Amino acid sequence: MAAVPLDPAPHTPTTAPSVTSRALLTVTGVDRPGVTARLFAALAEVGGDLVPVEVVDVEQVVVHGQLVLGVVVGTRPAEGSRPGEEARFLAALGRLAAEVGRASGVQVQVESVCDAGRDAAPAGRSHHVIVLGRPVPPEAVAGAAAAIAGIGGNIDAIRRLSDYPVTSFELTVSGAEATGLRSALASVAATTGADIAVEQVGLTRRSKRLIVLDVDSTLVRGEVIDELAARAGRAAEVARITAAAMNGELDFAESLRARVAALAGLPVEVLDEVREHLVLTPGARTLIRTLKRLGFRCGIVSGGFTQITDPLAEQLGLDFAAANTLEVADGRLTGGLVGEIVDRAGKAHALVRFAEQHGIPLEQTVAVGDGANDLDMLGLAGLGIAFNAKPYVREQAHTALNQPYLDAVLQVLGFTREEVLDAVPTSSSR
């Protein structure tokens, strides 16, 4: 008996002829059930002397009840096919288009698609460009489109993410490099007043699992230390120091000690008064509730004070909190601090600590803040968002939001308004 070889030569299949005829079918009209099914059922019946039709690409969108459906189909010529195969292919599709149009009440256009360069894709990674505004002016979309084209990018798709509390659209862009894209779009945002964020397309965008928020002027309105200083009669002095520190003009730790020293002698009950009068930034509850229901770990990292932030974290159901601690003696503030200072570097260390505590890689984290002392944290996170921040901070963060609503962060993360409503009961307070 002849031995059977252990590694027989692989069978070499006959190479199938390539797709040489392609056509684009564009369906427009009032959306109604069954249009897509009817079109594809008709495509399955296209035959005669043609081999079966292949679906090459499909894109469908419904805008305010109006359907736009694009389908690219192709066919390979049968062996021994006669000249004029492409013409017969297009004619068959034309008859199909007329029949589907009559039966469904839509318009179906057919046009030939040139094969040349059909598989070529612009160089560079794909990115999501999110345009947000209240409202979004047409010139913002026009400017973004022109800026993208100006650096060799192409808009592959556009979808609406939200219409409340801000309107936002997501453009999927190919062929543009991230730094050039952000730079080109920054001037559009500045001139139109819209926010324009850029994120790389990929699984990492939806893999974010932890968010840390600054507190003063981010999670809550205003600066807590300014409120305390007002009660100590030192408001103007402390406000000047705060502004200089947030703009990066002063070392945060040094400025913090100077401001805290101005609080010496205040009764500890003042902390309770200030905490009770805190006003959350609109959308803060929605952001936190949505992300927690989506499995995020949520926390706050503050250059403020634990006497304020710890009760706030408990009230909001947060997973962690880090802040400075005011020294208290005999029921009054001493003007000093207890323990290690949470400054610019301390905020970044806190982010790392929280991420490690929950086993979450830094690339899957989000940080949101408004001041210079947030910059290390914003840069270290997988996504750093400058929220209503000083120019110095906006220029260095991954992206910036200048909307008054904190839940606009959800759109930067790619969540639609519908997904937010699914995660948070509509009766919930913002």
The catalytic site residues sit at: 214, 216
What tokens were used for 22?
Answer: 């392609």
DSSP annotation of 362 reads: G
Using the structure block, give the residue that is written with the tokens 């006003």. 279
252: CB partners within 8 A, 6+ apart: 245, 303, 343, 344, 372, 373
Distances (CA, A) of 37 to 31, 33, 48, 100, 177: 12, 8, 22, 10, 39
Shortest CA distance to 271 belongs to which of 207, 204, 213, 323?
Answer: 323
User: What residues form DSSP beta bridges with 369?
Assistant: 386
User: Which stretches of 175-290 are assigned E, i.e. beta strand?
Assistant: 195-200, 210-213
3-state secondary structure of 222: coil
Residue 310 CA to residue 289 CA, distance in Å, equals: 18
Sign of the C-alpha dihedral, residues 354, 212, 411, 165?
Answer: positive
Report phi then psi at 360, rounded to 5.
-115, 125
Number of neighbouring beta carbons within 10 Å of residue 110: 18
Using the structure block, give the residue that is written with the tokens 């499909």. 58
Using the structure block, give the residue that is written with the tokens 């990066």. 248
Are the beta carbons of 160 and 149 closer than 8 angstroms? no
Residue 36 CA to residue 68 CA, distance in Å, equals: 11
Are the beta carbons of 308 and 276 closer than 8 angstroms? no
Shortest CA distance to 116 belongs to which of 20, 24, 26, 25?
Answer: 20
Query: Do the strands 297-305 and 320-329 form a parallel or antiparallel pair, or are they unpaired?
Result: parallel
Shortest CA distance to 428 belongs to which of 277, 278, 213, 284?
Answer: 284
String of DSSP letters for 274-296: HHHT--BPTTHHHHHHHHHHTT-
C-alpha torsion angle, residues 320, 197, 372, 215 (rounded to 10): -30
User: What residues form DSSP beta bridges with 382?
Assistant: none
Distances (CA, A) of 95 to 77, 86, 276, 372: 20, 14, 72, 65
